[in-house]
Each structure stands twice: as C-alpha cells, then as structure tokens.
Amino acid sequence: MNASKEDARSWLGNAQSIAVLTGAGVSAESGIPTFRGAGGLWRNFRAEDLATPEAFAENPDLVREWYQWRRAAVRKAAPNPAHYALAKLERCKRGFLLITQNVDDLHERAGSRNVAKLHGAIMIDRCIQCQREREAGDQDNCECGGRLRPGVVWFGEALPEREFLRAAAAVEKCDVLLVVGTSAVVYPAAGLIPSATFHRAKVIEVNLEETPFSANVDCSLRGLAGEILPDLLPDS
C-alpha cells in the first residue's frame, strides 16, 4: 500500500524518533554527480572500478586524480533545500539520527549535527603508513613518506564499526525511517531499510526512480529531494 505524502507528513509529525538514510541523490541538486546516475561517470570509469583498495594499489595516481576531481566539485557545491530540510527536522525532534552514505560534507554544512557517516569523508586524507588524518590538500604524501589515501570506505572495506552500530541501533528503535536519494544497492547500508520495516517503523522513500525497496516501503514518493523534503516537514 503506497500511502500519501499527507500520511508521510503526519507520521513524521507524530514520530518520537526518526532515522534518515541518505545517498548521493540528496546532493545531486547541489551539482555533485551521483554514482549510478547519468552524470555519475568519470572518463567512463564506474565507481566500483575506482573506489577499491586494488585500484589504488594498481594506479594510485589515477585514483587520486578522481578524488581530487570530486573534491573540487564538493568545494564548489552548496547545500540544497533537501539538506536544510533534514537539518530543520533534526531540530524539532528529540530522537533523531541522520545516517548518510555520502562522503561529502553538505549535511554538516547545512547544520545537521547528529550524523552517522557510514562511508567516511572525502575531504579527509589518511596516510596508509602512519594512519594520520588531515584535511585533504594537494600533497600526495605524508610527512612520514607514506602515500595519502582519501578517508572513505572503499568496496571490500569494512564500514566504521561505531558509525554502523549507531545507525543500526537508531533504525531498530525509530518510529519512521526516511530514505532519500539512494539506489539502495550498496550493502550493508541498504540493509538498514528492511531492518526498519522488521522493527515496525514506517518507511518513507523519496527518489526520482524506483528502487529494489520501493514496493515494500509504506510510502514511496517520486520526485526531487530538494522539492519533496521541505514539503514533508511537519508544520513546526
């Protein structure tokens, strides 16, 4: 049963605790290319080909160039109405966690505070030798001589345990899970969606297209996150 936007708005208004799961679609209207959408390709490479330890070991310069290209897009980007709506929703709810698969910093720049970053942060560099982290810049090597890699989780790498446990716990106890702008194909992040349903939360999905979970969620809204989210906010 696909409930209406009005139902979704009242579920959010009545909820004691809300969890949100966002993907690249929430940053698309800020001009940041998504992974699998039309604009997501870079020189015909797929994210799965470059966002791996193997690709970095084989061709660190190419992988680094891809991240520098993406960082430039993040620096140029500004949060859009979807980011601001989620920051506003957090302020009017006692129980709230924003779980993001995104590695950009637009949620934080829009004012979101309680954020679980499942896949790390692109604006951070980490030394593969001494593990020291720093703001991403132009240098390729650490003072210790080790190569710098982006502070993100690559395919085949484990998610930061603390972040994932926070996300899983929030999803188990939330009244509503709001899923925004994700193709829901990357695990274990996507597994949070059926977990919410299993724990009897209402699940609302906002996406331009159908996802593997569209038929199972309680309310699947088609359209731009930047337009739908501000309209979903309970009148606070």
Chain positions contacting ligand BV8, by CB under 6 A: 23-25, 28-29, 34-37, 40, 47-48, 51, 101-103, 119, 152-158, 181-183, 185-187, 206-209, 211, 224-225
CB of 160 to ligand BV8, least distance (A): 11
Which of residues 36 and 147 has its CB atom nearest to ligand BV8 in the complex?
A: 36
Instruction: Give ∠ CA 228-230-234 in degrees, rounded to 5.
Output: 110
The listed partner (ligand BV8, Zn ion, none) that binds 35, CB under 5 to 8 Å by sort, is ligand BV8
Q: Is 130 in the site for Zn ion (CB under 5 A)?
A: yes
Taking the C-alpha atoms of residue 190 and residue 37, their distance in angstroms, rounded to an integer, is 17
Known catalytic residue: 199?
A: no
The listed partner (Zn ion, ligand BV8, none) that binds 144, CB under 5 to 8 Å by sort, is Zn ion
The listed partner (Zn ion, ligand BV8, none) that binds 146, CB under 5 to 8 Å by sort, is Zn ion
Q: Is 144 in the site for Zn ion (CB under 5 A)?
A: yes
Q: CB of 202 within 8 A of CB of 176?
A: yes
# residues near Zn ion by CB under 5 A: 6
Q: Which of 146, 160, 194, 230 binds Zn ion (CB under 5 A)?
A: 146
The listed partner (Zn ion, ligand BV8, none) that binds 45, CB under 5 to 8 Å by sort, is none
Distance of CA 34 to the CA centre of its chain: 11
Active site residues: 119
